[in-house]
């Protein structure tokens, strides 16, 4: 998993889910938590490390320099999004797609809709359920063909549109929001 943790990105359920998958599959899966605390939750990851210091094969990378990002993605079998809520699309999803990675994501309305609209694919889980997250991870761990199918779909989605088209799409959204905000201000 990748990002700034402690607000809506929580890693405790991820660690517990991977422990279940390890028990079920007898595979010694590695957990890599790449990133730092959210500025609003300083000390979060340090506390998680202390709480789960008995868990083997877990790495907390801390800040990841831009030149190290490709290494972390290329060495991963999948990217897990331990989100409890979301505000829309995910930059990490687009990165995972550009590296051709399968993803495990929470079934949160706006995120799951955006994933499908943008052509991505993932294995979904119920955000508050360790068992659901474990089942989603396990499905990708034991079925390499399925994991590769999702990875290929995500790569195609991430590389389908050139940056110039994406920029125009974002500008159109911002311009439409600006127009709507102006219209609302005039109507008020």
Residue-wise pLDDT for 53-82, tens only, equals 999 999 999 999 999 999 999 999 999 998
Question: What does the pLDDT average to over 87-101?
Answer: 83
Question: What does the pLDDT average to over 27-47?
Answer: 94
Exposed, middle or buried, 179 (CB in 10 Å: 0-12/13-18/19+)? exposed
Which among 107, 113, 104 is positioned nearest to 128, based on CA atoms?
A: 107
Domain ranges of the chain: 2-160
- Three-state DSSP at 33 gives strand
pLDDT bracket for residue 91 (50, 70, 90): confident
Structure tokens, 113: 């809709």
Dist CA 71 CA 33 (whole Å): 14
Question: What does the pLDDT average to over 89-116?
Answer: 86
Cβ–Cβ under 8 Å, residues 48 and 42: no
Dist CA 113 CA 107 (whole Å): 9
Predicted confidence at residue 186, as pLDDT, reads 61
Question: What does the pLDDT average to over 146-158?
Answer: 96
Cβ–Cβ under 8 Å, residues 146 and 104: no
Question: Pairing between strand 58-62 and 78-80?
Answer: unpaired
pLDDT bracket for residue 114 (50, 70, 90): confident
**From 20-29, 76-85, 145-154, the region with the lowest mean pLDDT:** 76-85
If you average pLDDT over every residue of the chain, what do you get?
87
Rg (CA), the chain: 18
- Three-state DSSP at 171 gives helix
Dist CA 128 CA 120 (whole Å): 23
Architecture of domain 2-160: 3-Layer(aba) Sandwich (3.40)
């Amino acid at each position: 998993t990748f990002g700034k943790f402690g607000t809506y990105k929580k890693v405790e359920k991820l660690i517990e889910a991977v422990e279940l998958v390890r028990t079920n599959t007898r595979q010694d899966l590695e957990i890599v938590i790449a990133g730092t605390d959210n500025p609003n939750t300083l000390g979060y990851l340090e506390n998680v490390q202390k709480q789960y210091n008995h868990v083997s094969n877990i790495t907390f990378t801390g800040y990841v320099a831009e030149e190290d990002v490709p290494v972390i993605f290329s060495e991963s079998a999948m990217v897990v999004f331990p989100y409890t809520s979301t505000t829309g699309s995910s930059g990490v999803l687009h990165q995972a797609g550009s590296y051709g990675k399968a993803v495990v994501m929470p079934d949160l309305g706006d995120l799951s809709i955006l994933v499908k609209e943008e052509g991505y694919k993932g294995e979904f889980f119920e955000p508050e359920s360790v068992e659901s997250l474990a089942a989603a991870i396990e499905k990708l761990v034991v079925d390499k063909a399925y994991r590769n199918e999702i990875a290929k779909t995500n790569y195609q989605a991430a590389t389908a549109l050139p940056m110039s088209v994406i920029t125009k799409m974002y500008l159109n959204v911002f311009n439409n929001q600006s127009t709507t905000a102006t219209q609302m201000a005039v109507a008020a």
